[in-house]
């Protein structure tokens, strides 16, 4: 009987590309893996795995790794790992006061890095030009032969899931900004670009690579001038209908409080945001961008910071009551704040949270240090290569174009 | 070649039972369906559907329905519907001040109903005895030949997903109560019992049968003395690690506010809970159970209620900011409150919510009237029959036992 070749062939091709991407993601997550592990995890037979590995090697994505010392009887199976000189993405962590840009290879290896301070008010075209300048610098100093797969951008604001439009970034003063298009126009480059909310991306990176690996119910709290949360429940990102879920910085915290950038009053962010912390420390406004570094340098908390620790815990109680996570990762400047004010934070949480939800949660520092959001932006840019490595490499830019290298 | 009969046979049996349950759920959701629709929706061929329908008919679950008038050319396909005298569940909607119990048939048809007021404080064993008494009455007046599949109980508190333990019901004063076991012991009956949070069950019923059918991102706000939310995002129930997610009544609303039953201060529930509404209406404490009915009887809102409408909207702003739903269904006494105070609620929401999230949401009355939670409890009890009708009927109780009928 004649088989419908075209149809089956196309379908087989799609399945094979999907398997290539899945195998690549396994090695990306683990850093290095034996063929035996890949065979077990993917439920495919040895010869299929060998064929997929061989194709990913010829695409320049994987390379042979010496087997680890044998733990049991028999010869250990040969391993594969991500190639150091393989394709990379450019990740952009856009803060309110500064922007960090880095080349990130598959496997999460951070290469060249560049950063600059931003001045307020930050017009989107101006910020776009700054970002483009940093991207150029990073690309120009990355290996010329390595393909650039795409760009991922983390933004402190509400990002529409369908098209990456920045609907509202209160602390930047932006509404309805196509920031991805602005950056690409400033770069004069045609490469895939993904834009996402900073806290959502930080949560995803901590879940894939950091403190919340193998944890299904995760809140990542982002302290980046403003306050937001990325939430993963049951292993799935919490997005809401348009992608705006998790805006915990704008939970009502004190109706008698001060006015918030969002236009409302007494949001949690007005009490635990960077300006409130800077004021407690009598820190001049121009030092706010260095707030995280300043807090990192403290070995004990000044008395003036203690009430902020309590308010951080009280607001976390609302977060714990509504999401019932098993871990809350405290990112951005909340990382040093939690190190300095652990007892105050825990007391505020205990005061206002429901006991069963509180008993189920632990507070933790990010496993990725200060790079959760940056690596989350990289993960977003890498999405297509894990769906279909062949198609993703076809749209990659290889060799720094003249106008980028200059 | 000999086939491994046992293994394949078992597997085929499991697939067939799964298909029986899925077909039954389709008819349950739709009320009545043509065989053509079932063939299309389930992706199975006509003769397989005919075989499944025939088996469900012989199990006493479905019956033949006259075809609807033809809309196109050709003979309309014959239909099936849920049998009126088929199996049923008993649903229990446990409020703080009253309990409603009803027989609910497949298809969501509510049969015999019974209710009683509860007095405070409500010891769990005492409430269990009251519930058992109502269940007996409902079973005794239901058709004796109809099998009782199980009991579903909605509780206003935190219910552990793994085993249905009521960890904390602040308004009942309960901690770590095995309420399902208490009810079964009082009934002296061995029948499956499912216990869930009232708001979660209300959300699920509105999503399956009410105002949020075909809507993926839903918040159901329950006003039942206390305040809670059931949340469905991306079509999946939001549960958290242990099932406690959605406790929006205990969001911090005003740190200078009054003490809450949960032990904290100024929770949203202290401002929009039944006691606050009763106080605004100068309603005596013993009338609080009738609050929903009293509000239903009003045609315009007394001036004293208006600030509560605004606070309802302000708290909804927090809900909308963290979940980004496309619909919020206002259940319990919030249903008449929203009818009376729509402009105040909308103004409070507008004042505190982020614009993109607010633009994406609409507020709505429940499609199931005052029965959302009751029908959600029924849905929970029906779960097993949609997984495997044959196994579920095997554990059903047929004919009211003597000690129940008495």
Domain at B88-200+371-405: CATH code? 3.30.420.40
Confidence (pLDDT) at B266: 93
Closest chain B CA to residue A230: B322
**Which of A203, A185, A245, A225 lies closest to A334, judged by CA?**
A225
**Which of B161, B372, B27 lies closest to A234, judged by CA?**
B161
Give the position of tokens 């077990």.
A40
Q: Using pLDDT thresholds of 50, 70 and 90, give the confidence band for residue B276.
A: very high
Question: Do B325 and A240 lie within an 8 Å CB cutoff?
Answer: yes
Contact between B89 and B151 (Cβ < 8 Å): yes
- A358-390 residue pLDDT tens: 999 999 999 999 999 999 999 999 999 999 999
Calpha distance A172→A157 (Å, rounded): 8
- The CA distances from residue B297 to A337, A361, B122, in Å, are 53, 44, 28
| Chain A environment of B168 (Cβ under 8 Å) | 354-356
Calpha distance A327→A120 (Å, rounded): 34
Q: Fold for domain B5-68+77-82?
A: Arc Repressor Mutant, subunit A (1.10.10)
Confidence (pLDDT) at B5: 42
Q: Given a cut of 60, is residue A5 above it in pLDDT? A: no
**Average pLDDT estimate for B387-399:** 91
* Domain range annotation of chain B: 5-68+77-82, 88-200+371-405, 211-366
Which of A136-150, B8-22, B115-129 has the lowest average pLDDT?
B8-22
- A189-215 residue pLDDT tens: 889 999 999 999 999 999 999 999 999
- B30-54 residue pLDDT tens: 889 999 999 999 999 999 999 999 9
| Chain B environment of A252 (Cβ under 8 Å) | 251-253, 314-315, 317-318, 352
Mean pLDDT across chain B: 91
Q: Given a cut of 60, is residue A9 above it in pLDDT? A: no
- The CA distances from residue A122 to A56, A96, A195, A226, A269, in Å, are 42, 8, 18, 15, 20
Q: Which of B173, B228, B255 to mutate to test the interface with A (most CBs of A within 10 A)?
A: B255
| Chain A environment of B264 (Cβ under 8 Å) | 317, 351-352
Q: What is the CATH architecture assignment of A88-197+371-405?
A: 2-Layer Sandwich (3.30)
Share of chain A above pLDDT 90, in %: 78
Calpha distance B354→B321 (Å, rounded): 6
> B4 CB near a chain A CB, below 8 Å?
no
Calpha distance A79→A50 (Å, rounded): 11
- B57-80 residue pLDDT tens: 999 999 998 765 555 555 666 789
First to last CA, chain A: 61
Query: Which residues are registered as beta bridge partners of A222?
Result: A228
Q: Calculate how close chain A gets to B125, using CA atoms only, in Å.
A: 22
| Chain B environment of A354 (Cβ under 8 Å) | 158, 168, 170, 244, 247, 250, 262
| Chain A environment of B257 (Cβ under 8 Å) | none
Packing angle of the helix pair B46-58, B5-30 (nearest 10 deg): 80
Please give the ipTM for the structure prediction.
0.89
Q: Using pLDDT thresholds of 50, 70 and 90, give the confidence band for residue B120.
A: confident
Q: Identify the sign of the CA torsion B197, B200, B204, B207.
A: positive
Calpha distance A200→A195 (Å, rounded): 11
Distance of CA A337 to the CA centre of its chain: 21
Domain at A12-67+78-82: CATH code? 1.10.10.10
Q: Provide the CB-side half-sphere exposure for B108 (13 A, CA).
A: 22
Calculate the CA dihedral of residues A257, A261, A263, A269 and round it to 10 degrees: -40
Domain B5-68+77-82 and domain B88-200+371-405 have a common topology: no
Contacts with B315 (C-beta within 8 Å, 6 or more apart), sequence order: A252, B248, B251, B253, B268, B271, B272, B348
What are the b/e assignments for B197-212, b being 16+ CB within 10 Å? bbbbbbbbbbbbbbbb
Contacts with B316 (C-beta within 8 Å, 6 or more apart), sequence order: B221, B328, B345, B348, B349, B353, B363
Give the position of tokens 């970002």.
A131
Confidence (pLDDT) at B2: 41
Which of A8-12, A161-165, B145-149, B383-387 has the lowest average pLDDT?
A8-12
Pairing of strands B88-94, B147-155: parallel
Domain at A211-366: CATH code? 3.30.420.40
Question: Do A248 and B321 lie within an 8 Å CB cutoff?
Answer: yes
Contact between B221 and B202 (Cβ < 8 Å): no
Residue B255 three-state SS:
coil
């Amino acid at each position: 009987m004649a088989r419908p070749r075209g149809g089956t062939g196309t379908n087989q091709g799609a399945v094979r590309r999907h398997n290539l991407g899945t195998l690549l993601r396994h090695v990306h997550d683990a850093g290095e893996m034996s063929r035996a592990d890949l065979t077990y995890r993917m439920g495919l037979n040895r010869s299929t795995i060998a064929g997929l590995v061989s194709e990913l090697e010829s695409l320049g994505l994987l390379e042979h790794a010496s087997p680890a010392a044998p733990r049991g009887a028999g010869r250990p199976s040969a391993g594969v790992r991500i190639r150091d000189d393989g394709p990379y993405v450019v990740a952009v962590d856009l803060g309110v006061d500064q922007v960090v840009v880095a080349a990130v290879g598959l496997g999460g290896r951070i290469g060249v890095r560049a950063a600059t301070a931003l001045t307020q008010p930050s017009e989107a075209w101006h910020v776009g030009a700054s970002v483009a300048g940093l991207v150029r610098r990073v690309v120009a100093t990355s290996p010329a032969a390595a393909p650039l797969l795409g760009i991922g951008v983390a933004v402190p604001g509400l990002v529409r899931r369908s098209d990456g439009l920045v609907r509202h970034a209160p602390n930047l003063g932006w509404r309805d900004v196509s920031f991805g298009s602005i950056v690409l126009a400033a770069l004069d480059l045609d490469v895939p670009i993904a834009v996402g909310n900073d806290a959502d991306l930080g949560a995803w990176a901590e879940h894939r690579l950091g403190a919340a690996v193998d944890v299904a119910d995760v809140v990542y709290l982002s302290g980046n001038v403003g306050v937001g949360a990325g939430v993963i429940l049951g292993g799935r990102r919490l997005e809401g209908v348009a992608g705006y879920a998790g805006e915990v910085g704008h939970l009502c915290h004190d109706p008698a409080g001060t006015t918030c950038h969002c236009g409302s009053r007494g949001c949690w962010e007005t009490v635990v945001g960077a300006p409130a912390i800077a004021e407690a420390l009598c820190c001049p406004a121009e030092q706010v961008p260095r707030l995280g570094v300043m807090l990192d340098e403290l070995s004990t908390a000044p008395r003036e910071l203690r009430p902020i620790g309590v308010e951080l815990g009280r607001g976390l109680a609302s977060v714990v009551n509504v999401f019932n996570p098993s871990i809350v990762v405290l990112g951005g400047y909340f990382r040093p704040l939690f190190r300095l004010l652990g007892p105050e934070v825990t007391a505020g949480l205990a005061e206002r949270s429901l006991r069963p939800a509180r008993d189920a949660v632990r507070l933790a520092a990010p496993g990725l240090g200060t790079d959760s959001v940056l690596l989350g932006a990289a993960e977003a840019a890498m999405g297509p290569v894990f769906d279909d490595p062949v198609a993703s490499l076809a749209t990659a830019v290889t060799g720094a174009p003249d106008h980028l290298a200059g």
